[in-house]
Amino acid sequence: MDETSATKAGTYEFDKDFIVNRLGYGTMQLTGNGVWGPYKDPDQAADLIKSSFDLGVNFIDTADSYGPWHADTYLAKALKDYSDSDKIFISDKVGQVRTGENEWTPVGAPAFLRQEVELSLRLFNRDHEDLLFLHRIDSHYTLEEQVGELKKMQDEGKIKHIGVSQVTLDELKDVQKVAKIDAVENLYNVGHHKDDDEIVDYAKEQGMAFLPWFPLDTGNLTKADSPLNDIAKKYNASSAQIALAWLLKRSDNIIPIPGTSSLEHLKDNIAAANVNLSDEDFETLSKLQK
């Protein structure tokens, strides 16, 4: 049987000092209901993140708004307990406050964005963010105020790469006038991609990574009635693996960041790196979204 390792998913180069494996992990499932409050077993949460490192994952997507702060606290613990923690690339996000379960409010006040970065660096015991996303554009502030503040922190050495999340192509082009954008993170999966296909291609052309959030359609693509089941049987794979293999084949700037609270599912997801979809099956899957 093939070894399970994210190293088999190929790599993406952010800069010559940081080349990441193209199968990451997203921490959002490690919280309470509605991404609010602590995860039911904090030690298990930190252990799960550490297991992802052991499986070759070196790209972790997170945000202080997950919990808030709970997922980041587990990540900080996992990093502290891991000898090669400086080799873990953190993809972080700022610019949203939480007021309760499933409540997300963009806040783009420059001083707030700066505070989030400073608190995250303190928690992660780092002097810079590897990749920092503006989680959402806040219409109460200009792009110069929001992305401009990230650019200032980049100039101060506190942020290496800047990204934007859930943007249209026009917004992405506007943001590029304020700062160099190295990554985009939008909702994207095999069942829901048409709206963003052109952003994936534009990002590739511009030398940006594309992080598809909800890569498993928040679990719907893995269910018993998954539309991926027939192709999954053909590859002796799980439907989650087919969803991730489709993303990996779609474009080499895509870094899937599946979220899970289960070690079994984590291993299943990483083993997607062993699935080589044929061109024909890739095309069939690409047409699933009507």
Question: Helix 143-155 and helix 110-124: axis angle, to 10°?
Answer: 40
Question: Is residue 202 annotated as a catalytic residue, yes or no?
Answer: no
Identify the residue among 76, 190, 200, 216 touching ligand NAP (CB under 6 A): 216
CB of 177 to ligand NAP, least distance (A): 22
Beta bridge partners of 189: 192
- 42 contacts 76 by C-beta, under 8 angstroms: no
Characterize 161-195 residue by residue with b for buried, 16 or more Cβ atoms within 10 angstroms of its Cβ, and e for exposed. Answer: bbbbbbbeeeebeebeebbebbbbbbbbbbbbbee
- 245 contacts 277 by C-beta, under 8 angstroms: yes
Burial status of residue 31 (CB atoms within 10 A of its CB: 0-12, 13-18, 19 or more): buried
Place of tokens 């979204």: 289
- Beta strand segments in 149-191, E: 159-165, 181-187
Q: Near ligand NAP by CB under 6 A, which window of 4-12, 26-34, 145-153, 155-163?
A: 26-34
Give the integer Cα–Cα distance in Å for 155 and 143: 17
By C-beta, is 2 or 279 nearer to ligand NAP?
2
Determine the residue with CB nearest ligand NAP.
259
Q: Which of 39, 66, 74, 141 is catalytic?
A: 66
Q: Near ligand NAP by CB under 6 A, which window of 149-157, 168-176, 215-223, 274-282?
A: 215-223
Place of tokens 């990451």: 24
Q: Near ligand NAP by CB under 6 A, which window of 3-11, 37-45, 208-216, 275-283?
A: 208-216
Q: Near ligand NAP by CB under 6 A, which window of 80-88, 150-158, 172-180, 217-225?
A: 217-225
How far separated are the first and last CA of the chain, in Å rounded? 36
By C-beta, is 92 or 156 nearer to ligand NAP?
92
219 near ligand NAP, judged by CB under 6 A: yes
Task: Looking at residues 60 to 79 of the shown chain, list those that interact with ligand NAP (rule: CB under 6 A).
Answer: 61
165 near ligand NAP, judged by CB under 6 A: yes
116 near ligand NAP, judged by CB under 6 A: no
Identify the residue among 115, 262, 276, 284 touching ligand NAP (CB under 6 A): 262
Identify the residue among 121, 258, 281, 285 touching ligand NAP (CB under 6 A): 258
By C-beta, is 116 or 279 nearer to ligand NAP?
116
Identify the residue among 52, 146, 222, 226 touching ligand NAP (CB under 6 A): 222
Nearest to 204 by CA among 62, 10, 58, 12: 12
Give the integer Cα–Cα distance in Å for 139 and 57: 35
Which residues belong to the active site?
Answer: 66
Chain residues that interact with ligand NAP, rule: CB under 6 A: 26-29, 61, 135, 165-166, 185, 213-219, 222, 238, 240, 257-262, 265, 268-269
